[in-house]
């Protein structure tokens, strides 16, 4: 029996038993979906962490102590600095005098109201263009001009209106640029120079939208301080000096944040790896049993084919080709479902794991899809070896008698 004829017979066998074929394809779809989705999630978390490291830019970050009691530094940064918190400029001045600081810059945060006064409810981050060394390098990748009063830059997840204008507290601001994706809550934030954001804050307070500003001297306040450590000094040492010298605030090194997030990522990756391993071990066992049961049910068919002159090797090839066809069908469906499911819910995964999450490039997704398909087909082919061996070693007469 030639290869082409074997392929035709294999297809006919699959079509002749639609329910059995459907169940096998369903099982293979689940296996391939599990592997593909697991690979993409782990890779996206790793890509998000790498991007997060690049995005931090500072060696040490300082915030009011009460802000850190409501959430960790990791939560604050990953969620796009959710909420408003403030400290006096006096803290900034004290911190700037600490030994070992090369650069220091302040930021001011404001959450827009969910009302008719504002186009969208977002976190607004104000930075000082004269001293900033964390946000400007990121912005300059898409916008190199001066950010004037009244100009804003929007994060990746914010849709820019056609007229490129957004309203906050009754005043219209010009959208002059959009930022590249980071895979964190910062993608849903708006950026402006610190004067613009403080003006928004004063307006919002006057309109009684932000109760958090009650009693706050906006002009002489900041939300957080970002520090670059001088050569020859350790971020941990500078962090300790700040925490020991200035009360009412808390400093933390970015390295410890990355370590904390990296630990969380590793834990998630290990759990996903274990789940994939368990699923695949069980799947291989189930596939081996399934192909053996199917082969046993078809003993008479194989015996007739042997009587018609089909060789043992052709019978083995027949079983293998059927498995490959089923595997290709199921794995392509599984990868397709995985891609369609993961792309739209990537932001939900970021929130669920509370970790930076950024899907890899289309090229990598396609590569991972091909790896999944090849791996699934290989596993299915290996699962047929036992069944193929048993059939090839059985005598035709015995096969016919066993089925009688």
Tokens of 85: 């918190």
Q: CA–CA separation, 56 vs 85, rounded Å?
A: 20
Q: Report the DSSP beta bridge partners of residue 228.
A: 103
Residues written for the chain: 404
Q: How far is the C-alpha of 55 from the C-alpha of 122, rounded, in Å?
A: 19
- Return the pLDDT at 394: 57
With CA atoms as reference, report the closest residue to 308 among 321, 294, 318.
318
C-alpha–C-alpha distance, residues 125 and 194, integer Å: 8
- The pair phi, psi for residue 342, each rounded to 5°, is -75, -40
| CA 42/CA 273 separation, integer angstroms | 9
pTM greater than 0.75 (yes/no): no
Half-sphere exposure (CA, 13 Å, Cβ side) for 192? 24
pLDDT truncated to tens, each residue of the chain (404 aa)? 556 666 666 677 777 778 888 888 998 999 899 889 888 888 888 777 777 666 667 889 898 888 777 665 555 555 555 567 889 999 999 999 999 999 999 999 888 766 566 666 788 899 999 999 888 888 888 888 888 999 999 988 888 888 889 888 888 999 998 887 777 777 788 899 999 999 998 888 888 787 778 888 889 999 989 999 999 999 899 999 999 999 999 998 877 766 666 676 777 778 888 888 888 888 778 887 877 777 666 666 666 666 666 666 676 777 778 888 888 999 999 999 998 888 777 766 666 666 677 788 889 999 999 999 999 998 888 877 776 666 666 554 545 455 44
- CB half-sphere exposure, 351, CA atoms < 13 A: 7
Q: Domain boundaries in the chain? A: 3-52+261-403, 82-222
């Amino acid at each position: 029996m030639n290869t082409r004829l074997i392929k035709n017979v294999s297809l006919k066998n699959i079509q002749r038993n639609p329910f059995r074929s459907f169940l096998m394809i369903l099982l293979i779809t689940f296996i391939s979906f599990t592997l593909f989705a697991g690979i993409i999630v782990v890779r996206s978390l790793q890509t998000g962490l790498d991007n997060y490291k690049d995005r931090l830019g500072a060696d040490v970050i300082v915030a009011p102590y009460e802000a850190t009691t409501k959430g960790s530094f990791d939560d604050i940064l990953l969620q796009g600095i959710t909420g408003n918190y403030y400290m006096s400029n006096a803290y900034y001045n004290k911190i700037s005098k600490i030994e070992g600081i090369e650069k220091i810059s302040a930021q001011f945060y404001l959450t827009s109201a969910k009302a008719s006064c504002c186009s969208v409810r977002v976190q607004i981050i104000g930075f000082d263009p004269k001293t900033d060394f964390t946000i400007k390098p990121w912005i300059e990748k898409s916008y190199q001009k001066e950010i004037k009063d009244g100009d804003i830059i929007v994060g990746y997840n914010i849709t820019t209106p056609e007229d490129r204008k957004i309203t906050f507290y009754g005043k219209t601001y010009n959208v002059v640029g959009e930022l590249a994706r980071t895979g964190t809550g910062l993608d849903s934030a708006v950026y402006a120079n610190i004067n613009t954001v403080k003006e928004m804050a004063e307006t919002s307070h006057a309109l009684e939208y932000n109760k958090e500003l009650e009693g706050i001297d906006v002009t002489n306040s900041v939300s957080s301080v970002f520090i670059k450590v001088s050569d020859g000094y350790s971020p941990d040492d500078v962090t300790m000096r700040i925490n020991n010298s200035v009360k009412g605030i808390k400093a933390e090194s970015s390295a410890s944040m990355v370590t904390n997030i990296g630990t969380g990522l590793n834990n998630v990756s290990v759990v996903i790896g274990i789940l994939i391993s368990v699923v695949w071990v069980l799947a291989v066992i189930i596939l081996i049993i399934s192909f053996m049961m199917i082969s046993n049910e078809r003993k008479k068919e194989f015996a007739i084919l042997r009587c018609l002159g089909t060789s043992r090797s052709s019978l083995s090839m027949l079983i293998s080709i059927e498995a490959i066809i089923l595997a290709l069908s199921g794995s392509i469906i599984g990868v397709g479902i995985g891609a369609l499911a993961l792309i739209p819910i990537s932001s939900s995964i970021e929130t669920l794991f509370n970790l930076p999450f950024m899907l890899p490039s289309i090229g990598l997704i396609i590569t991972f899809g091909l790896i999944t398909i090849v791996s699934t087909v290989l596993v299915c082919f290996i699962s047929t070896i036992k069944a193929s061996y048993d059939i090839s070693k059985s005598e035709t007469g015995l096969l016919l008698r066993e089925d009688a």
